[in-house]
Amino acid sequence: MKKAIIEREQDITEKNSQRIEDIKIRKTEQKNRLIAKIQRRKIKLLRKLLKSRKVEDEDSTLRDIIQDYADYGSSVYAGISREGLTLDKLANKY
């Protein structure tokens, strides 16, 4: 009788440890899937952020036409001869 009780308890202990091991493996897999999902989302958001910053940088380099015409020393009013054709070179035509 004692031998049967000891064997039954050992079987129960083995089943419990196997169940715990299965749960541990399942939870570890869930955790790894969740971490992978979060990392994919992070990469996606970082790419979006870099793309938006790039667009903002391109927008900031556009010519500010109002500022050019407000400044009388700008090349709009007085072109620089090293940049190409100026009106003084062709003054005798006019």
Q: What tokens were used for 1?
A: 């009788």
Distance CA 80, CA 87 (A): 10
pLDDT of residue 25: 98
pTM exceeds 0.75 for this model: no
Residue 84 lies in a domain: no
- Domain containing 45 equals 26-61
Residue 52 lies in a domain: yes
Residue 14 lies in a domain: no
Residue 76 lies in a domain: no
Residue 12 lies in a domain: no
- If you average pLDDT over every residue of the chain, what do you get? 86
Question: Which residues of the chain have a pLDDT value below 50?
Answer: none
pLDDT of residue 26: 98
pLDDT of residue 21: 97
pLDDT of residue 64: 80
**Residues 74, 83: contact at Cβ < 8 Å?**
no
Give a three-class secondary structure readout of the chain.
CHHHHHHHHHHHHHHHHHHHHHHHHHHHHHHHHHHHHHHHHHHHHHHHHHHHHHHHHHHHCCCCHHHHHHCCCCCCCCCCHHHCCCCCCCCCCC
Number of structural domains (the chain) is 1
Cα-only R_g, the chain: 38
Summarised one tens digit per residue, pLDDT across range 42-66 is 999 999 999 988 887 776 667 788 8
